[in-house]
Amino acid sequence: MPSRNRETWERPPDLPETHYVDAAAYADPDIFADEMSRILARSWRFGCHESELPDAFDFRTIDHAEVPLVMIRGEDGRIRTFYNVCPHRGAKLFNDLSGNARLKTCFFHHWTFDWKGDCVSRPRPKAYDDMNLRAEDCGLREVHTDTLYGLVFFNLDDRPIPFADYFGDALASFERTLTEEPVEVFHYHQAVVRTNWKQWVESNMDHYHEWMHVMLRRTNVLTEETLFKRHVELYPYGHIMFRGMQIDYQDEATVVPREQSKALPGLTAETFHSTPIFPNTVLMTRGTVMRIDTTTPLTPDTSLVEFRGLGLKNDSEEDRIVRIRQHNEFWGPMSHNLPEDLFAAEQCAKGYRTGGATYGIICREENMSAQDDGGMRHFYAEWSKWMGRPASDPRTKAA
Ligand code: FES
Ligand SMILES: [Fe+2]
């Protein structure tokens, strides 16, 4: 195979346009701005798990969406999402990551709001009477919020795609796991990653990179036999399910043994499922634990990733310790697996950021078995639809 010169390096690959991605999709600031308004501002996005808001008036702020947001569980049990912005003069209302507040009074001029977002008091309101600025015109800005199997999603669009249509059956495989027994978030950490947001999402769609992970090589994931027992399923709106991986933990001396009795409902202790939900959330299980990643674009080449670990709420103290170890050994910040993925995403970003890389190749076809690139092609077909331009040539806007 000969090396290439400038002309042959920059020439689009001789592949169907669905089978490669132009580097501009990862680096161009105009394309990034378009992604914000066409995809992130219109899609259903994961906010938190309802166990993070167990009681009435519990709130949780989301500071890294394009606008600051706050999710609040109301007295009626419903979770609502609001702009975390005072309608008087724009001050940020809630400053803590989480807490409990029956009413929220803005620190600045003391307008006060309830859990429905209604403005319930303004100091000395009579001076507004001449201008007819009524309290009912001073409520918070609410955004659409809905919950599926305890996962709380928000949508910044006033007229969003109907929630049930958007998800369809894409998360049905997790229904038992998330609902048969109460689950809760027991782990949360964030990482700012020097990579485009899609490159982090790709790390859970590109199973061909499994060769990189020492622990996957050691736990029998990469034999010819197991590779072809796994498959990729595609769902409407760009969602994907990777199913069929069974991980053999028992023969690996350096990992915590997994007992069948501690498997999450609907899973064996060996089951690995992974479901990227378009555009920026991934759910995955390793038998006894679940992980949820949410990737928020900050700049074209910087992303904030939130990592959550979930397990059974009714764990004994001892069981919880074991579950935390089983989570952290693969998915914690100092684990076998996660730092390798972070390293890879940042390394790829260097190629795109410098202009050195020209195209990403996603043309593997293996009957949609484990290492077929069909999942990534599905994601980029959806991306192209929302963006009105093909990922293979994103500088050219479609009509
Ligand atoms: S800015 Fe909030 S009350 Fe004035
Ligand atoms: Fe990985």
Q: Which residues of 197-213 are buried (b: 16+ CB within 10 A; e: fewer)?
A: bbbbbbbbbbbebeeeb
**Structure tokens, 190:** 């964030």
The domain made up of 45-160 has a fold known as: Rieske Iron-sulfur Protein (2.102.10)
Ligand closest to 203 (CA) is 2
Q: Which residues lie with the beta carbon below 6 Å from any ligand 1 atom?
A: 86, 88-89, 91, 106, 108-109, 111
Residue 63: its pLDDT value, please?
Answer: 87
Give the ranges where 161-249 is alpha helix by DSSP (H): 163-167, 175-179, 197-202, 214-218, 224-227
Chain mean position to CA 82: 20
Q: Which ligand is nearest to the CA of 331?
A: 2
DSSP, collapsed to helix, strand or coil, labels residue 350 as helix
- Spatial contact of 219 and 249, defined as CB atoms under 8 Å apart: yes
- For ligand 1, atom 3, the nearest C-alpha belongs to 109
Q: Which residue puts its alpha carbon closest to atom 4 of ligand 1? A: 109
**Domain 182-387 sits in which CATH superfamily?**
Naphthalene 1,2-dioxygenase Alpha Subunit; Chain A, domain 1 (3.90.380.10)
pTM confidence score: 0.96
Within the chain, all domains assigned CATH 3.90.380.10 are found at 182-387
> Among 82, 85, 89, which residue has the most ligand 1 atoms within 8 Å of its CB, making it the best to mutate?
89
Rounded average pLDDT per 10-residue block, the chain, 399 residues: 91 97 96 96 97 98 90 98 98 97 98 98 95 96 98 97 98 97 97 97 94 87 85 97 89 88 95 96 97 96 97 97 96 94 95 91 96 97 97 82
Q: Which residues of the chain are in CATH 2.102.10.10 domains?
A: 45-160
Distance from Cα 35 to the centre of ligand 1, integer Å: 32
Contacts (Cβ under 8 Å, ≥6 apart) of 230: 207, 242, 243, 244, 245, 369, 370
Which pLDDT does position 289 carry in this prediction?
Answer: 97
Q: How many residues does the chain have?
A: 399
Compute and round to an integer the Cα radius of gyration of the chain. Answer: 23
Closest ligand 1 atom, residue 89 Cα: 1
